[in-house]
Amino acid sequence: MEKVKLIPLQPDDREQFILDNQEAFNYGALEEFGRRDDHFEEEDQIISKETIERCIDDGEAYRIVCGDRKVGGIIVKTDGAHGELELLFVAPGEHSRGIGYAAWCEAEKLYPQVKVWETVTPYFETRNIHFYVNRCGFRIVEFYNSRHPMENEPDSDLDSQFPAGMFRFEKRMDE
């Protein structure tokens, strides 16, 4: 595999980044696993344009580049020793090549000051759960659901979009 690089998202690539992200999330939720439930934030989209834009605006967005190809994207938000992996996606045609893991390793190198990383994923995204726990070294530390809502987003639409809940993952860099 060619070396994976993280390149800061350019303003003229923003719209395509959003579309590529939606395609990857839709693939993971619908095509790979079949339509189980309609966990849509907006019509026919697992993740809304608004959500992605908010993540881009509040964090640091990067294109995942392999050779000369844009193969995905990642958005992180950091505050001192704390980091949040907001979004990570790899183009469906590039899955199972180690690109997501290589991109995550590059993100860790970009932010050596971060000692604790967090992220969340829906309970049914078994591919994501495997990736975060078995490949990247995260641990499941919390399960959000209607009886245990996210502390910082108690009024979120979590219950309607993911009624069976989401896992919160944490990776401590000193372990």
Query: Distance between CA 20 and CA 73 in Å, rounded?
Result: 8
* pLDDT tens-digit readout, 58-105: 999 999 999 999 999 999 999 999 999 999 999 999 988 999 999 999
- Which pTM was predicted? 0.85
| Domain range list for the chain | 4-172
What is the CATH topology of the domain spanning 4-172?
A: Aminopeptidase (3.40.630)
What does each C-alpha distance from 84 to 68, 81, 104, 141, 168 come to in angstroms?
Answer: 27, 10, 12, 14, 11
What does each C-alpha distance from 88 to 11, 36, 47, 166 come to in angstroms?
Answer: 18, 22, 12, 16
Q: What is the CA radius of gyration of the chain?
A: 15
* pLDDT tens-digit readout, 40-63: 444 566 678 898 999 999 999 999
* pLDDT tens-digit readout, 94-138: 988 999 999 999 999 999 999 999 999 888 788 899 999 999 999
